[in-house]
Amino acid sequence: MTVLPIRQYPDPVLRARCTPVVDFGPDLRRLVEDMIQTMHDAPGVGLAAPQVGVELRVAVVDATAGVDPGAVRVLVNPEILDTAGVDTETEGCLSIPDFTEQVTRPASVRVAARDLEGRAYEMDADELEARAIQHELDHLDGILFVDRLRGLRRQRARSFLRRLRSPEPAVAGGN
Ligand code: NI
């Protein structure tokens, strides 16, 4: 298994609309194993394929950030079937280092996806796992968590992202 480099904003791959997986072969298994390793190494609670430069509908989520090996979820061609409630919590993204903000999302989700062998399954998630799944599924459509912000939070995100797009040297001291 390999720790892959994580693509960072404004890398255009983060805006790609990813295509569904049709080949459930060894390449997919290798990609998912590397993504899990990369997520745990970061450490993060989720990672989507475009974050490692692959435009496929694949995401991994581990709300325990590596503490419980059984907690890793592999989501291939995932879809949200239903949501309930609403919740606001602090969120960040491995592709936008050093920026966090409060994001409002549904509190729980029901998801349909396929596993590494292509078998369809459904799962329910709440709390951090639900948030991570929604965040990662957004990545598969080129949506970043900062796109979910409104008002003052959105303004803060925009000025932060502007600096990432055109880094300037720090302003020299003085009045
Ligand atoms: Ni992210």
Please state, rounded to an integer, the average pLDDT across all residues of the chain.
95
What number is the average pLDDT over the span 75-100?
A: 98
Spacing, Cα 173 to ligand 1 middle (Å): 35
Task: Please report the pLDDT score of residue 28 as a whole number.
Answer: 98
Spacing, Cα 137 to ligand 1 middle (Å): 9
Where along the chain do its domains lie?
A: 12-165
136 catalytic, yes or no?
yes
Task: Return the HEC string of the chain.
Answer: CCCCCCCCCCCHHHHCCCECCCCCCHHHHHHHHHHHHHHHHCCCCEEEHHHHCCCECEEEECCCCCCCHHHCEEEEEEEEEEEECCEEEEEEECCEEEEEEEEEECCEEEEEEECCCCCEEEEEEEHHHHHHHHHHHHHCCCCCHHHHCCHHHHHHHHHHHHHHHCCCCCCCCCC
Tokens of 175: 């009045």
pLDDT band at 166 (very low <50, low <70, confident <90, very high): confident
CATH topology assigned to domain 12-165: Peptide Deformylase (3.90.45)
| Phi and psi at residue 16, to the nearest 5° | -75, 145
Nearest in space to 142 (alpha carbons), one of 14, 20, 46: 14
Q: Residue 175 pLDDT more than 80?
A: no
pLDDT band at 173 (very low <50, low <70, confident <90, very high): low
Spacing, Cα 96 to ligand 1 middle (Å): 7
Residue 30 is which amino acid?
Answer: R
